[in-house]
Structures are given as C-alpha cells and as structure tokens.
Amino acid sequence: MSNQAFIETQFPIARLSAESYKERKAVSGQTLTGLGKWWGRKPLVLVRASILAMLMPASGNPKKDREVFLKLLTMDPDGLWRRRKGTIPDRELLARASAFEDAWKNAGRDEKDELREEIWDSLDDNLRADMEALRRFPLSRQEFDALSYEEKLKLCVRPEHLDGPDADAWVDINSHLGTSATTIAELTEQLGIRHFGHRPRIGDSFCGGGSIPFESARMGCEAFGSDLNPVAGLLTWANLNLLGAGKAVQEDVRQAQKAAFALADKQITEWRIEHNDSGERAESFLYCVEVKPPGCSYYIPLAPSWLVDEYFRTVVHWRHVPGSEHLAPEVVVLSKTELEQFKKHKGATVIDSRIIDPFDASRSWSVEALRGPNGLRRWTNDDVVPRSEDVFQERLYCIRWIDSEKRRRYAAPEAGDLEREARVRALLGERFSEWQRAGILPSRVIPENGDKTEEPIRTRGWTHWHHLFTARQLLTHGLLASLSYQGQSRHVRVAAMLNMGRLADWDSRLCCWLSSPTQIAGGKNTFLNQALNPLFNYSTRSLPMLASAQITLSKRIGPGLTGAAAITDARDLEYDCDIWITDPPYADAVNYHELGDFFLAWYDKQLRKYFPQWSPDARTELAVRGNGDDFRRSMVDVYKNITRHMPDNGMQLVMFTHQDPAVWADLGMILWAAGLRVTSAWTVATETPAGGIKKGNYVQGTVLLVLRKRLSPQDGFLDEIYPLVEDEVRRQIDSMRALDDGGEPNFGDTDYQLAAYAAALRVLTQYQTLDGQDVGHELFRVRAASGGRGRRATGTEKSRFEQVIERGIQIACDYLVPRGLETVWQGLTADDRLYLRALDVESRGEHRQGVYQELARGFGVREVKPLLHADKANSTRVRTPSEFGRKDLEGDGFGGTKLRQLLFAVHNTVAEEKPEAGMRFLKDELRDYWSDRHKLIAILEWFASLGQVEAMSHWIADSHASRLLAGRLRSDHG
Ligand SMILES: C[S@@+](CC[C@H](N)C(=O)[O-])C[C@H]1O[C@@H](n2cnc3c(N)ncnc32)[C@H](O)[C@@H]1O
C-alpha cells in the first residue's frame, strides 16, 4: 500500500459536482442554512468527500479504490438505489402537517420541492416510519440504472439523509481497507488511529458558516473551527452544540421558540397594531421613500415598480389630494389586458437613479443631486423614522390583509392604519432606550468608510444598524427578543440570538418586495446579494409572517457531535490538528467583517454574556482580504502557523472558489512560501446550473489543493526542473485520461489546465530554493518590483517560479490534442493550435471568456480576441470561417498561417456554393499545397464533423462546405 491518500491519486469530481449542486439547490432545505446566513458556505457533501478522501489510503488498484470510495459516499449504483426517494402523495403529507398549508398554497413549483422536504423533516419519527408505507417509486432497478447520474440524483435524497453505506457495502469496504467499521464514524476513527494514533482532529481556521467543522464532527472526527468573526463563531458553535446536541436539546429550543412566539402574538393582539376593525390581520406592510424635488409642489413616492402583486393583478396608482402636498395611493385590481399594459412601464417613479414625476414623465430629477452638496442629514441614535426636514421621507402605501377564511386583499392605508402606525412608534418609543441598554435592540454605529457600509450612510443618512429597520420591525423583533432571552438554558438563549439574526435578514428596510405571476408576492431577504443597498420601497412582515423566517433545526443530526468553536485570528491559532481544511477569503469580494456586523448588532451584548471569552467585534483590521501584498503576507503567516500546528504526516486541503484561473498559481506560491508541498489539485463545480461539469456551463468551480509539509527541503535548479515538470504534467494528464476512458467523463478543459498547474506545483513545491533564491523572498521581491499591486499582467513582471508554472500549462496545452487532429498537430503554429483547441472547447459547450483567455495564455498567444466572434463573459465563442471572411487575412500572427488560408478557402466554398473556388485559392496561395494536402484534408474533415455537434448549429454551412472541399482536395490529382 502506498503512503498516498486517495485524494492524492483521484477524486470523483463529476459526481461530486452534481451532488454539490443538488445540495445547493435545496436552498432552505440545506442542513446549516436554517441557523443563519453566511456567505460562501461550502457544500457538506464536498467536505465529507474531502475528509474521506484524505483519510482513505490509495492502494495499487485505482479502480477498486474508486469503487470503495463511491460506496462510502453512497454514490455507487447500490448506494444510489438506496437513496431513491419515491414520493408520498402531497395530500397525505399535508394532511399531517396543517401548519404548512398556507406556505404550500403560496409556494411555486420549485418551492414546493423544498417544502416537501421541510414538511417531511418536521414530522416526528414514528409518523414518518408509518408513512413510509405510502411511498411509491416509479422505476424498476434496471430502469433506474439506465439513467444518467444527474437524472438519478433528481430521484434521490442526498447522501447525508442516509446513515452511510449498508451492511453489504461495509463488507467490501472493510475488506479493501483492512478495517472493521459499521459506520462512517467508526471508519474515520480506525483510519485516524492508523495514521495519527487517535481519532482524527480536523480543523478549519476560516470556518465561516461552519460547514467544515460541522461535517467533520458529524463523521465522528474531533472538530475544531475558528474564525475572526464572532457571527461565524456563533454559527459554528450552534452547528455543533444546537444541531449536534440531539433531540432533547432541539426540542427544548423549539418549545422555547414556540412559547416566546405565542406570548408575542398575545401582546401584539392586545396592542392591536396588526388587526383592523373588520376582523382582518395584516400580513405585510409596504413602505416607500418619498421626496419633494425642487420645483415640484408635491412629494413623489418612489418605486421602480408599482406592481404590487401580479398574481392578484394588483397595482398602486397615485392621485393628487386637494390641499395636500402628499399624493394618495389607490390600490387597483386590473383586468388581464390592463395588467399587460401596466407591466410595460410599471408606473415607475425611479428609473436609473432618476426620479420621474408620475404625472409628467418629461420631468425628472437626479437622486444624487437631491442629496445635496453636503450629503444628507446623519440620523442620530434616537431616529427611527425620518424627521420632517429630511430629504427622504417614508410612508406606508399598502397593506395586505388576511381574514379568518384565509382570504387576502391589498388596501391603501386608512385613518385607522395610520393611527396604528403612530401607536407602533409610541410603543417603541416607550421601550427603545431600555431595549437598547439590555441588548435587545441594536445600538451600534455603522462603521464609516467600509466598502459596503458606506452605502446606507451616504444614500440615506443611516448611521446606526437599527436605522436599517422600520419602527414596526424594531418593535416586533424587540418584543420577540425580550421574550426569547428569558429562556433558562444557554442553548435556548443562543438559539434566540441566532433567531434575531435570521429575522434581521428576512425583515429589514433592505427587504425588497417581489411580485410574480405564479405565486403570491412576498418580501425577500436582506442579503439577496452581498451588499447593503437601501431600497426605495420595501416590506415589513406582521408577526405571523415572521414564523417561517425563524431558525430551523434539522431533526436528523446528533447527538454526540464533538468539537470546539473559537474566535481567533488565524495567524494566532494555538491548536493542533491532524488535518486542516480551509477555505480562505481569497481574492473574493465578500466583506465578511462589514456584513457580519449587520447580525452582530442584534446580539453583541448577549454574546458578551454567554461567550465572555469572545470579543464581540469584527476586528476589521485583522480580516484577511483583497489580493495585494498585505494579503499575501497575511496568508503566508496564516498557513505557516497552521502548518506548525500539524504533525509531519498531517495533510491540508485548501478550497477556494475561483473566478479567474490565473489566481491558482498565485495561491500556489503562497502555500509554497508557507512551507507546504502541493500533492494534487481538483476542481469541483459547486454552482452548476444543470447537467454537471461536462456541459461546461457551470458558473463557478471550487478548486481543492491538497498539501503536505515540505519535510526535506531541497535546492532546485531551473534547468533541471523544466524536464521534471514536463514529465509530471504528461503523467498527470495520462492518468486523468485513463480514468475518463470508457466511463462517464470526469474532467473538463479547465480540470486539465488546473491539473497542469498542480503538476508543476507538485514538482516545484518540493524545493525550498530555486537557483539559490528562497521562494518567500521571491514572492515578495517580484511584487515589490511590480509596485506591489495585484497580479502581474505582462511577461516582464513574471518571476522565474511563475515561468515554470506557465511552462507546465503550455505543455498541457500542447499535449491535449483535440481528438481527430493528432496527425496534424505537430506541424501547426501556436495560433493555429489555439484556434482549434478553442473550437474544440466550444464544441463541448464551454462559453466562459476566462477559459478562452486562459487557453491563449497556455499557448503563449497574446490575444485571443481576434479569434472570437462573441467575447461576452458567459457567451464566448470562436469565429466560423464565414464570420472571418476576409478579415485579417495576412500578417505575422494567425492571419499569416496556413490554417487561416484554409478557413478562407472554406469561406469561399460557402460563398460560391461549390468547392472549386476554395481549392483554387489554396493552390494559388499555398506554396506547399501538395505536401500539405493530407493535413488540410484532415482539418477539413474535423471541421466537417463539427456541424453534427448539438452546440455548433452555427457551423452547419461551414461544416458542409468543409466536407465538400475535403472531397475535392482528396480527388485532386494534379
Ligand atoms: C470563504 S469564508 C469561509 C466559509 C466557510 N468555509 C463556510 O463553509 O461557511 C472565509 C472566512 O475567513 C474569515 N476570516 C477573514 N480573515 C480572517 C482571519 N484573519 N482569521 C480568521 N478568519 C478570518 C472570514 O470571516 C470568513 O468567514
């Protein structure tokens, strides 16, 4: 048995991409999201696979290794069959879950899929067991086996919904691994003891929403998660200690939550702030900003759309009120035809940051100008609504009511409603200071000069976090918080803190109101994006509508998860782990420290009470971010530190979601400088829209770099290293191809490129110095020379280290010959190869611009743009011969190559509808026509085959012409 881990030899990335996508798509059905929002959470299935693949040794039999590995994840044929979910008729499900009736009625088709899972989870175990008898699966095993992996997944539950492999699978697994496990926890323990002498300790120094520690603990490992941000720390703590504490604790939390909600409901009913005199209760209150621009005699209510609810065909019209400078809203239900008409303009009173007069569209004002040269008045702590002198006012313009028969209607506010609004403000006023003092309401100031926090301050004058909430939201959330924090146990109180975070996300002035033709309109969450953008119109929920926004605990987890959560700068960690899995904030745009404060403001004082050792502060200055030199230094320090806290036979896995493949080399350098050696790299498409990695239309991939300590550092010399890199790249590509042969393809073009980086890094990172230069020194020396900013773009700025890495990619590019062009490849120029490879990549459905740019880099060609027909970010494709026409038909680059002449000949054949024109051109222009004739034919035949590819319908004419021309050339005997 080798000393390599499974992940250092192979990883089933196509299946994992599909599984990660399935998990992502579950949205609220994901295990951890119910506890609170964090950005960039990693899919649990990916974490599970990574841990198993690091613990599982590679044998000399890769096929068997793969088989066993898939069994462990229930991603093998039998495991998938066990995961088939079948269906229980909706009416049976709903009959046992009346609490979901409303949500069901309001849900669209996709949402119903999630809801089914949620309802199922909400049922108690006995009921679920009884209901299993009602489950029906429509396919036989044979029919199921014949489906593609993605099709199967649609009919399956996720691996985490099963208790791991079944008894038969364990026999096979144990016999291959020499273990005697019956559960995943037993297996991790046995493998851990074998490698490290104890249950494996798995740590994450950038734990964020806590996926990595949670999954490690769930797999029976000793988990450790730490993050700089206390919100992340709290989420991670809660994953382990609320979700992981088992049913009794969860039930406690649920009961406490229910009791607080019932008390809040009673109080709100007594206050009569959500009920009207007709026996209806409000569901949603819709507010908008209004302004009185210079020269206008009335306030203009602002919204990009006054379509309130397309499902109910309800819109708002505005009319003048004699003697008032405020317009009055009129809620109108339109006919279908009127609605279609209305949808064309939506009555918008703000378009592209300009305010439009609703009665005279020719009059408009810039929003920016209205803020004035000195900006807006800054709100003070006591402000909860705008003051009368403020530029931006706020008004209630519509309420959705529901009666006891569950009939809904929208209405403009009446006098009674405005009185209720005043009562809300008065009630809040009575409690405000006390609640702030007790940490029930936020009192923190929004940091100025943040990338994201600057926006609410500048565009609304909001200076405190509570300004991002309406008076009604502050009163309702405050009431719930004050009742929830009365719970006795720490668990209940922590759950209450997280609950306040959830409510803040789902009910703030930043929650937009979204209408749809297929379901009842509703308020969305604050963090639909990763920003803090104030809106012109927004919604506020009544208490019953907050029920579904509360935290949810999944019943399936625990008990007995062991692990620790901490708040530490990753550079200062003092904790030993056998394996570190990290997902650093690498070159990403998420300002965790700023956005996290939105939540922290709701429970900072509670946090101080229950986690006295934690600093309730985002410590912005310590956050690792950006991609400049400071960032690199911090990252080298972080990775040096965690490497120090790892045994010599320990491993690391660094995950990062890349937008730009060029950052891979950069990260590799950082890890190298930290004393680590890359042993393998994989890309998993974690955000695939459909069909897995193969279709190439995924949004983003997550790169996994596997690393070990560099134990016996060597001194390397570039001239010796180049050939080693070449061999390693070829070896890597050959082994990937071998895995692809005969089965489902595992790898896409970017995977091969990444593998080339990894192969180069694998060779390079064994050395401590190259030509006498220390790698750490080199990393920063070159940066300093280039002004220390970001990635270098030009050749002159490249370090020798990067040159080696680039050489690796060039080798990979040359080595990856499109099938059918093997015989002609040698004689082609770099430009020709780039064109043909780009076309090959396009024919497999790849349209991301970055991939084409990266290919050009690989072939050492400066510009790919002249070869492209469309170069938009996600719809890039190569020009066809007809699209080239006469363009750039000469010159030093592609214009002067034989391939370019051949494309022109194809174009002529298309234009003249016969091959003679093309052939004549070739014979006149190509000096070596006769010796090149067979190569030209091979390329033409390859073009001819493109027209049959589904994604290449724009090639049909050129492909047909290529076939004719190939035939003509073949029969040309002089
Ligand atoms: C990409 S996220 C991690 C997401 C996580 N893997 C998950 O699944 O939710 C990166 C994390 O690094 C944290 N971070 C930034 N600077 C840090 C530092 N100096 N020390 C520790 N954590 C830091 C951020 O707060 C953020 O949560």
Three-state DSSP class for 563? strand
Residue nearest to atom 7 of ligand 1 (CA): 41
Q: How far is the CA of 172 from the centre of ligand 1 (A)?
A: 39
Atom of ligand 1 lying closest to residue 569 CA:
20
Helix H or strand E encompassing 455: helix 454-460
Cβ–ligand 1 distance for 37 under 6 Å, the answer: no
Query: How many CA atoms lie less than 13 Å away from 7 in the CB half-sphere?
Result: 29
Is it the case that residue 691 has pLDDT exceeding 60? no
Cβ–ligand 1 distance for 40 under 6 Å, the answer: yes
How would residue 786 be classed by pLDDT, with cut points 50, 70 and 90?
very low
DSSP string computed for 157-222: --GGGS-SS-HHHHHHHHHHHT---SSHHHHHHHHHHHHHSSSPEEEETT-TT-HHHHHHHHTT-E
pLDDT at site 696: 36
Is it the case that residue 788 has pLDDT exceeding 50? no
Q: How far is the CA of 40 from the centre of ligand 1 (A)?
A: 9
206-221, pLDDT tens digit by residue? 999 999 999 999 999 9
Rg (alpha carbons) of the chain, rounded to whole number: 31
Alpha helices in 885-951 (DSSP H): 898-912, 915-925, 929-946
pLDDT at site 681: 83
Cβ–ligand 1 distance for 622 under 6 Å, the answer: yes
Q: How far is the CA of 228 from the centre of ligand 1 (A)?
A: 7
Cβ–ligand 1 distance for 585 under 6 Å, the answer: yes
Using CB atoms within 10 A of its CB, is residue 871 exposed (0-12), middle (13-18) or buried (19+)?
middle
Is it the case that residue 85 has pLDDT exceeding 80? yes
Tokens 């990753």, located at residue? 570
How would residue 379 be classed by pLDDT, with cut points 50, 70 and 90?
very high
Cβ–ligand 1 distance for 623 under 6 Å, the answer: yes
Q: How far is the CA of 662 from the centre of ligand 1 (A)?
A: 22
Residues 286 and 417: their CA atoms lie apart, in Å, by 12
23-64, pLDDT tens digit by residue? 887 776 788 888 999 988 899 999 999 999 999 999 989 999
Residue 240 neighbours by CB under 8 Å, 6+ apart = 210, 213, 214, 217, 223, 225, 561, 562, 563, 564, 565
Three-state DSSP class for 344? coil
How would residue 839 be classed by pLDDT, with cut points 50, 70 and 90?
very high
Which of 480-489, 666-675, 783-792 bottoms out in mean pLDDT, i.e. has the lowest?
A: 783-792
The 3-class SS string of 787-849 reads CCCCCCCCHHHCCHHHHHHHHHHHHHHHHCCCCCCCCCHHHCCHHHHHHHHHHHHHHCCCCCH
Residue nearest to atom 1 of ligand 1 (CA): 585
Cβ–ligand 1 distance for 43 under 6 Å, the answer: no
Q: How far is the CA of 594 from the centre of ligand 1 (A)?
A: 13
Tell me the percentage of the chain whose pLDDT exceeds 90: 57
Using CB atoms within 10 A of its CB, is residue 474 exposed (0-12), middle (13-18) or buried (19+)?
buried
Using CB atoms within 10 A of its CB, is residue 911 exposed (0-12), middle (13-18) or buried (19+)?
middle
Q: How far is the CA of 35 from the centre of ligand 1 (A)?
A: 17
Atom of ligand 1 lying closest to residue 42 CA:
8
Atom of ligand 1 lying closest to residue 593 CA:
25
State the average pLDDT for the chain.
88
Cβ–ligand 1 distance for 232 under 6 Å, the answer: yes
Residue nearest to atom 26 of ligand 1 (CA): 208
80-92: average pLDDT: 90
Closest by Cα among 598, 606, 595 to 501? 598
Residue nearest to atom 11 of ligand 1 (CA): 206
Closest by Cα among 948, 958, 950 to 915? 958
Q: How far is the CA of 207 from the centre of ligand 1 (A)?
A: 6
pLDDT at site 209: 94
Residues 844 and 854: their CA atoms lie apart, in Å, by 16
Atom of ligand 1 lying closest to residue 38 CA:
9
Q: Do strands 676-685 and 651-658 pair parallel, antiparallel, or not at all (unpaired)?
A: unpaired
Residues 871 and 894: their CA atoms lie apart, in Å, by 18
Tell me the percentage of the chain whose pLDDT exceeds 70: 92
Is it the case that residue 448 has pLDDT exceeding 70? yes
Residue of 20, 211, 228 to test ligand 1 pocket, by largest number of atoms within 8 Å of CB: 228
Residue nearest to atom 13 of ligand 1 (CA): 206
More confident call, 89 vs 472: 472
Q: How far is the CA of 41 from the centre of ligand 1 (A)?
A: 10
Atom of ligand 1 lying closest to residue 586 CA:
1
Cβ–ligand 1 distance for 656 under 6 Å, the answer: no
Q: How far is the CA of 587 from the centre of ligand 1 (A)?
A: 12
CB atoms within 10 A of CB 264: 21
Atom of ligand 1 lying closest to residue 656 CA:
1
How would residue 585 be classed by pLDDT, with cut points 50, 70 and 90?
confident
CB 551 within 8 A of CB 498: yes
Phi-psi region of 414 (alpha: psi -120 to 50; beta: other; left: phi over 0): beta
Residue nearest to atom 10 of ligand 1 (CA): 585
pLDDT at site 745: 57
Question: What's the sign of the alpha-carbon dihedral 48, 49, 54, 60?
Answer: positive
More confident call, 109 vs 782: 109
Question: What's the sign of the alpha-carbon dihedral 59, 60, 64, 65?
Answer: positive
How would residue 682 be classed by pLDDT, with cut points 50, 70 and 90?
confident
Residues 746 and 682: their CA atoms lie apart, in Å, by 11
Closest by Cα among 393, 485, 386, 399 to 435? 485
pTM of the model as a whole: 0.84
Residue of 224, 592, 620 to test ligand 1 pocket, by largest number of atoms within 8 Å of CB: 592
Tokens 């009736």, located at residue? 101
CB 438 within 8 A of CB 461: no
Three-state DSSP class for 151? helix
pLDDT at site 787: 42
Cβ–ligand 1 distance for 586 under 6 Å, the answer: no
Helix H or strand E encompassing 655: strand 651-658
Is it the case that residue 888 has pLDDT exceeding 70? yes
Cβ–ligand 1 distance for 42 under 6 Å, the answer: yes
| Alpha carbon of residue 580 to chain centroid | 22
Cβ–ligand 1 distance for 41 under 6 Å, the answer: yes
- The edge-to-edge listing of strands for the beta sheet with 767-770 is 714-716, 767-770, 773-774
Q: How far is the CA of 585 from the centre of ligand 1 (A)?
A: 6
Q: How far is the CA of 649 from the centre of ligand 1 (A)?
A: 25
Residues 907 and 651: their CA atoms lie apart, in Å, by 55
Is it the case that residue 68 has pLDDT exceeding 70? yes
Q: How far is the CA of 819 from the centre of ligand 1 (A)?
A: 43
Q: Which two tokens stand for residue 426?
A: 């008065």
Helix H or strand E encompassing 723: helix 718-740
Atom of ligand 1 lying closest to residue 211 CA:
8
Residue of 30, 205, 207, 581 to test ligand 1 pocket, by largest number of atoms within 8 Å of CB: 207
pLDDT at site 558: 67
Is it the case that residue 3 has pLDDT exceeding 90? no
Cβ–ligand 1 distance for 206 under 6 Å, the answer: yes
Atom of ligand 1 lying closest to residue 47 CA:
8
Three-state DSSP class for 936? helix
Which of 33-37, 57-61, 659-663, 830-834 bottoms out in mean pLDDT, i.e. has the lowest?
A: 659-663
Residues 695 and 760: their CA atoms lie apart, in Å, by 27
Residues 487 and 484: their CA atoms lie apart, in Å, by 6
Q: Do strands 281-291 and 201-204 pair parallel, antiparallel, or not at all (unpaired)?
A: unpaired
Q: How far is the CA of 231 from the centre of ligand 1 (A)?
A: 11
Query: How many CA atoms lie less than 13 Å away from 290 in the CB half-sphere?
Result: 21
Which of 69-83, 143-157, 587-601 bottoms out in mean pLDDT, i.e. has the lowest?
A: 587-601
Residue nearest to atom 27 of ligand 1 (CA): 208
Cβ–ligand 1 distance for 356 under 6 Å, the answer: no
Atom of ligand 1 lying closest to residue 634 CA:
19
Closest by Cα among 688, 690, 710, 684 to 699? 688
Q: How far is the CA of 583 from the centre of ligand 1 (A)?
A: 7
Residues 603 and 46: their CA atoms lie apart, in Å, by 31
